[in-house]
Amino acid sequence: MIATRWWQRLAEDGNVMIRVAIAAVALAPGMAAAAEMTFYQLPSGAYPHDVAPAPDGTVWISGQRQGFAGRFDPKTGQLEKIPLGPGAAPHGVIVGPDGNAWLTEGGQNAIARVDAKTKDVKLFPLPKEFPGVNLNTLAFDSKGKLWFTGYGGVYGRVDPGSGKVDVWKAPKGSGPYGMTGTPSGDVWYASLAGGSRATTSPGSTPRAAQPPSSIPRARASGRAASGRIPRACCG
C-alpha cells in the first residue's frame, strides 16, 4: 500500500476549514481503499489561501485577509498565527529545504521567511523598480535558490544565503502564477492570463512554451515523478 496526504482549503457560509485527506492506494488493480477525510475548523476570519505540509506533521497556511503565517497542528487542532507586518496579505506558502516557511507577501511586495523554530520573520523586499507586482507562488530550484511569480508580469529569485533579490519581466507579460522546480534544475511557471508556460534555468533567460489553443488558461503547475509538468486550468 502507498499512502498519500494532501490538503485543501474550503469555505462554507463564511466558515473556513482545512480538509485533510489520507488516501490509501493499492499496488494491484481493484485493491484501492476508500479515502479517509478529517475536517478541522479554523478560527473565524482565518481565510487560508495556500497550505504547505511540514516534515513534522504540522501545516503552514497563508492567512491572506489577516496578514499572518499560520502553523496548524492537526494533532491538537491549534492554529498559531505569526504576524508578517503592517498591511501584510500573504498569498503562496511553501516549506523550504531549510525547514522554514516561505511566503509571497503581496501586501508588502516582499518575500517573507518565517523561522520554524524561533518564529522570527525576515522580509526580502523586491527592488523599487518593481512595485506592486501581485506576488503569487514560489518554488525552490535544485541549488537552493527560491523563485517566485508576480501576476503583474514578473518572475524573480531570492538567494537565501546573501539575501539578494532579482526580478525580471515575464516573456509573455502579465499572468505568471503557479510555479514548480524540476530535478534538472529548471523552474517552470504557468501564466494564467496568457495561457502559456515558461521555463528558466539559473542564470538564463526564460523560454516560453505555448500549449495547444484548446487548453484553458493555466493556473497552477506541479511536477510529476517522471519529470513532466502537469498543470491545473480554469476558464
- Residue holding cell 503583474? 152
Q: Which of 216, 213, 210, 212 is nearest to 235 (CA)?
A: 216
Helices (H) and strands (E) in the chain, counts: 0, 21
Q: Is residue 134 part of a domain?
A: yes
Residue 44 · residue 15 · CB < 8 Å: yes
Neighbours of 193 (CB within 10 A): 16
pTM over 0.85: no
59: domain CATH number is 2.130.10.10
Nearest Cα residue to 84 out of 52, 53, 62, 60: 62
Q: In 3D, which of 76, 67, 75 has the Cα closest to residue 103?
A: 67
Inside any domain, residue 25: no
Phi, psi of 92 (to 5 degrees): -90, 155
35 found inside a domain: no
Nearest to 113 by CA among 177, 51, 65, 163: 163
CA distance 119 to 46: 18
Looking at residue 159, the DSSP 8-state letter turns out to be -
Q: Does residue 86 lie in a domain region?
A: yes
pLDDT in tens, the chain (235 residues): 333 333 333 333 333 444 443 333 344 455 556 678 888 888 888 888 999 999 999 999 999 999 999 999 999 989 999 999 999 999 999 999 999 999 999 999 999 999 999 999 999 999 999 999 999 999 999 899 999 999 999 999 999 999 999 999 988 889 999 999 888 888 888 888 765 555 555 555 555 555 544 444 444 444 444 444 444 333 4
Residue range of the domain that includes 206: 45-234
Residues in the chain: 235
Number of domains in the chain: 1
* 157 lies in some domain: yes
Amino acid letter for position 92: G
Domain assignment of residue 40, yes or no: no
153, part of any domain: yes
Q: Cα(51)–Cα(217) distance, rounded to whole angstroms?
A: 22
Q: Is residue 24 part of a domain?
A: no
CA distance 200 to 194: 17
Residue pair 151/175 in contact by the 8 Å Cβ criterion: yes
